[in-house]
Structure 1
């Protein structure tokens, strides 16, 4: 059976005309496209909008194929539980294969076969998810095909109506036209007939024919967000709604003990108090339900409760950091850990020592836990009535949220309806469903009234699923003439994917952890030509709740690798740019990006006294980014003046949105590099709010330049790839400026 299944072609992603829920006055042409009476096109949108601009970009794909004004493409909710909308690209990208093994001319049979199989499995599973900078890459083919198929059906309907050859018709501005006869009809007039017409030959528009894509276009969400009309999860309001505020046990993994319930219920506006056990990885706590969120929060803050600690003992981030550093060193010394990439014999090169003028270099790097710190705190609105559950949530995983809600409420999945709202910052935090499970549990206690569960900012900071802490021991061997002969990196840190799957996809989580690509991405997949390499990771488990954080493993692994490459360049007496280019002779794409950034930044040209440059190059999510930072000191602290970014993200569909994502990534990356850390003492997170872990201020924000490389590749990710190079480029600039080599994040200069 398995052999027979694997031999079948992958499931298609076009869907049927009846896939989308029926609505009067709307005609479905396939699983993605409906046509309204007035000729507007409705596009099924399973992907979350969290500021990255995908709703605008994906609507533009459809508008381009159907020759329609973008304002006439409206979004509609997809059919619940439909596997058609599963994200294939994000699962395919989870394979731990070196990017080079998928490049034309260097591709391997194993890598290609693995990708094919994962894509096939992904189409069967149909996991709806927005993450991994995968949305445009995932939708690129099915949405264009869906729109082009709809166009072919509309042309076919016109051909049958007027009994004229289909190839004599064309679409223009939402009309099907026949130039010779003057016959024309709008999409709305032809839709019912088109739904019964086979598509026949379907041709996608070639890029030279594009009128919209590749050119600056206004974002569809700008007016609503500018006027305050946009509705995020936290803006949800329902008739007769209650509000609940969450208070977790202060210690991670702890639980509430005795609580003075009577005192809480006497507080103004308070309706109920609900004890909540751990759900989907959360720490146990108490929800206070009241007439308003203000009343609920005041009561929660005034709560007289005793709190129990973690049964297995309190967590301590300093002890964890020391353990990770020792684990990485032990792995390097014993040459163990899971080898994600091996080439030649890096261990033998290191053991050979400094013979023949060779030079060995070793450095230990570390990164702390990090919180997501989204602007919109965690929230979810739920109503439970008559064995049915209705949810309004800002989520990146709507089907997982529905499944958890069904389990918590004890109802069949088809009784759960979820409305996906705009998201006020995701960064991976809303790949989790803990808050949804909590909200459903609270709503089960409110007698059918809808309730909005809200986490205060302090709960958000202290009970996050954090970016894992990590450590790496890096070793390099330079030949007598300064060429890099060997590079080994042994890292240590908790694996995200097994923990995430266990709490969010328990039906797929296995009893044994498999090697997790996120632990070593940004280390095993470097583009540099080094004859002897070993990139290995030791997966640890320290019980701090961890999750996906913007750019995931790349976020800290790029700091480890690119800062160490600079150390090697310095030891070789080479210019950091020239040293990297010497290792990229067979990687023209990376070399072009690096050279563009250096050229635009004026690399090698003199700077005023007290200013220095640093650079970094990194590939993640299929996109190559190079950055040059110009840095000075202000009151003995780093101050970034200018960031020059060169980006190759394949075909650029919306250049303004790409630039916006690069700019937001730079600000996000600088915030983490300068200020980001989560310290756990006695089991409790010490950073409670933004004063404890500030964001980069407007005054501190540098000039950011984005330079896009022209490419014919299919589009790749852009929401995250500009984050990883920021920290190493800053560290490298600070070394050039001060002579201090900083190997731990956040970057703090010695007094």
Structure 2
């Protein structure tokens, strides 16, 4: 692996500086109360917790709510440690300080096998690397919602912040009453003493702010009353009665509306533009040309009094579009190139064990299969949008985003102002799935606002532009080979795959200051392949990172989304080759992975694996770990008019400590529907540089009538919480494909399955 070295006064000085920094304690994420938004009468006790006059708790919220339930899960952590009802906790948007950065998300990107740290004795290579990267992540403080990391990241810091606030409140009561802290108790936000003295948090807050917390201890698991219990989501009432504000709901007095139109050819640009007819239409005010901001395709926007006027006028503009300078993109040619790269390209080996070469030379036979997955769009229910206002040298943004700090920075660059001159209000997200980890819409909205004379303007992408100018899930191709020895056992597994690396392309367009001239190996390209739990004696997992030119980005469950299809479908192929039951085959390879085995056993038991099914139906199974969680799914499938129909999905999950079991179940259901949509229907085709899919008729979703029954079963665990929002996506495609093989004898190696 090639590495870049930072030289500060010579290599020796740089090395000493890095070692010295690495040995220093990690920066605290508690923060001071000055970091929280000043309230009229609220009292901040640290950078995460304020106390309201009525004793209610205010929690700084650095993560975006996009349906995953984080605006309920994080308040549950605070409610537990502060001994208050969940309904007593409200949230406010966190500021931009580094304490709110997502450390867990960066740690999740380290390319280690998930069993490596568990096997490691003491402070070895894996733990040392995690320590250094964790420290770096604290310094960078990148506030992002992604990687199924919100609860995992908050698990320690929010509980410690709440426990520290509790300690200060108890200390304040102790000083006021001149009684030992050990004699005081807390319940429902009230501090009491057996003498009858009592005071609410609201009464004690002002004194607590000036009281050092002293000894801080987290509540033992045996005393939990909130964590682990099903609780109604706090965001649902406002969504039901219409009070909830999404990006497209933002309204500012005097606001204008803008519709975007980008070059139909990805990477192209507008040439000659004739906007005379459009500008003459009623309600239309101006046209704003838009360069290729943050990796987007160039185009223009029309500003008008209503979104309808803007959209109609945008279509009336006459444009001579210019193609991409490097030539038009074509998905068929991309697929051919990826296969060529698998056969002949130079790849990076993410994992190697034993000698696959020797096992193949000595094999009785070698089983080989090729698997393919297409580009995919995110298709969020709420199209891309942002509202911006530039007035008196300051820029205000209102938008649904997963990366508010990066959007501020992108907008500031466009507006030509310091980041401190940009304020952003993060609304609810009508779906994110990784698409809102991008900053293109923020940059475009800022550019449009510069031309609007101090008035706010809301940019709303039409659905067709959203689908045709996405940052797509990369296309992937993989060759899988297994050596069967003379005793009839699988001796080795070799996987070579090819596809674009997301991380370096995302860095280039969104954090250019941190992007380097040389791409380092990107875990997302091979995750789900190199980190499988199966105990094959000989393994070789290699990926060839390509650069096709198609705009690519993070898509819900990222590389796991298609790599699980490759790996788990091939596992079934091997079981069939050996004439072994698919569940039994996996059982025999999981002796060193007890978590995975327990999850597999639970899914098999609850689904009735091996029992007789109604005529015309079959079971398929898949087991996969992603984002720290292990998920096994058994799909019950039939064919209707020649197309797959999934009737029931049994989902077993080990996601560590469960904060809210209801949210976990909701996320598994969501992931199954999302994953089935992609598995059965999803594909993006590019011809002559133009994406062929536009709105939902050509990029269909799974319909309600076709949605399966989903049952979620949880494995009890004392491990810290792991991801929940994404791990349910990867297993569903291979589970359905494996069921189709059991049903028809035909092996599906290319997605989508309905193709």
TM-score, normalization by structure 1: 0.97
Q: Go from structure 1 to structure 2 and tell me whether the alpha carbon gap of 1:107 and 1:548 turns closer, same or farther (over 3 Å shift).
A: farther
Answer with 602-611 or 147-156: which moved more: 602-611
- Which residue of 375, 378, 384 maps to 1:378? 384
> Which residue does 2:11 correspond to in 1?
none
Alignment map for 1:487-506 (pairs within 5 Å): 487-506=493-512
> Which residue does 2:258 correspond to in 1?
244
Corresponding residue SS for 2:176: helix
Instruction: State the Cα distance separating 1:85 from its structure 2 match.
Output: 0.4
Q: Take 2:210 and 2:62, find their aligned partners in 1: how far apart are those partners?
A: 26
> Which residue does 2:230 correspond to in 1?
216
- Which residue of 605, 610, 616 maps to 2:611? 605
> Which residue does 2:462 correspond to in 1?
456
Kept in 2: contact 1:742–1:748 (CA 8 A)? no
Q: Take 2:387 and 2:737, find their aligned partners in 1: how far apart are those partners?
A: 43
Residue deviations 1:15-45, cap 9 Å, x none? 1122213222011100000111111111000
Alignment map for 1:167-206 (pairs within 5 Å): 167-178=182-193, 180-206=194-220
> Which residue does 2:87 correspond to in 1?
71
Instruction: State the Cα distance separating 1:594 from its structure 2 match.
Output: 0.2
Instruction: State the Cα distance separating 1:602 from its structure 2 match.
Output: 0.7
Instruction: State the Cα distance separating 1:586 from its structure 2 match.
Output: 1.4
Q: Take 1:288 and 1:140, find their aligned partners in 2: how far apart are those partners?
A: 45
Kept in 1: contact 2:259–2:311 (CA 8 A)? yes
> Which residue does 1:342 correspond to in 2?
352
- Which residue of 61, 65, 70 maps to 1:54? 70
Matched, 1:154 2:169: yes
- Which residue of 528, 533, 537 maps to 1:531? 537
Q: Take 1:636 and 1:3, find their aligned partners in 2: how far apart are those partners?
A: 62
Q: Take 1:298 and 1:351, find their aligned partners in 2: how far apart are those partners?
A: 65
> Which residue does 1:700 correspond to in 2?
706
Corresponding residue SS for 1:507: helix
> Which residue does 1:38 correspond to in 2?
54
Q: Take 1:257 and 1:123, find their aligned partners in 2: how far apart are those partners?
A: 45
Residue deviations 1:256-309, cap 9 Å, x none? 122222211101110110011100000000100000001101111222222111
Q: Go from structure 1 to structure 2 and tell me whether the alpha carbon gap of 1:261 and 1:302 turns closer, same or farther (over 3 Å shift).
A: closer
Q: Take 1:359 and 1:15, find their aligned partners in 2: how far apart are those partners?
A: 61
- Which residue of 323, 348, 355 maps to 1:309? 323
Runs of 5+ consecutive residues of structure 1 not aligned to the other structure: none
Residue deviations 1:454-490, cap 9 Å, x none? 1000000000000000100100012233322100000
> Which residue does 1:714 correspond to in 2?
720
> Which residue does 2:5 correspond to in 1?
none
Residue deviations 1:48-67, cap 9 Å, x none? 00000001010011011111
Instruction: State the Cα distance separating 1:731 from its structure 2 match.
Output: 0.7
Kept in 2: contact 1:100–1:106 (CA 8 A)? no
Instruction: State the Cα distance separating 1:351 from its structure 2 match.
Output: 3.1
> Which residue does 1:471 correspond to in 2?
477
> Which residue does 2:644 correspond to in 1?
638
Residue deviations 1:569-594, cap 9 Å, x none? 11011110000000001111100000
Kept in 1: contact 2:599–2:630 (CA 8 A)? yes
Residue deviations 1:85-127, cap 9 Å, x none? 0000000111101111111566771111111110000001100
Corresponding residue SS for 2:293: coil
Q: Take 2:33 and 2:449, find their aligned partners in 1: how far apart are those partners?
A: 36
Kept in 2: contact 1:614–1:731 (CA 8 A)? yes
Residue deviations 1:155-207, cap 9 Å, x none? 000000010111111111111111x2100111111111101111111111112
Q: Take 1:747 and 1:651, find their aligned partners in 2: how far apart are those partners?
A: 35
> Which residue does 2:105 correspond to in 1?
90
Q: Take 2:709 and 2:634, find their aligned partners in 1: how far apart are those partners?
A: 12
> Which residue does 1:131 correspond to in 2?
146
Q: Take 1:45 and 1:19, find their aligned partners in 2: how far apart are those partners?
A: 12
Q: Take 2:336 and 2:374, find their aligned partners in 1: how far apart are those partners?
A: 11
> Which residue does 2:9 correspond to in 1?
none
Q: Go from structure 1 to structure 2 and tell me whether the alpha carbon gap of 1:107 and 1:533 turns closer, same or farther (over 3 Å shift).
A: farther
Kept in 1: contact 2:620–2:740 (CA 8 A)? yes
Q: Take 1:466 and 1:729, find their aligned partners in 2: how far apart are those partners?
A: 24
Residue deviations 1:500-529, cap 9 Å, x none? 000001110001100000000000000000
Corresponding residue SS for 1:533: strand
- Which residue of 494, 507, 515 maps to 1:509? 515
TM-score, normalization by structure 2: 0.97
Matched, 1:120 2:135: yes
Kept in 2: contact 1:100–1:107 (CA 8 A)? no
- Which residue of 640, 656, 662 maps to 1:650? 656
> Which residue does 1:283 correspond to in 2?
297
Runs of 5+ consecutive residues of structure 2 not aligned to the other structure: 1-16
Q: Take 1:190 and 1:641, find their aligned partners in 2: how far apart are those partners?
A: 56
Residue deviations 1:127-152, cap 9 Å, x none? 00000000000000000000000000
Instruction: State the Cα distance separating 1:215 from its structure 2 match.
Output: 1.1
Q: Take 1:121 and 1:519, find their aligned partners in 2: how far apart are those partners?
A: 23
Number of positions where the alignment pairs a residue of Structure 1 with one of Structure 2: 739
Kept in 2: contact 1:482–1:573 (CA 8 A)? no
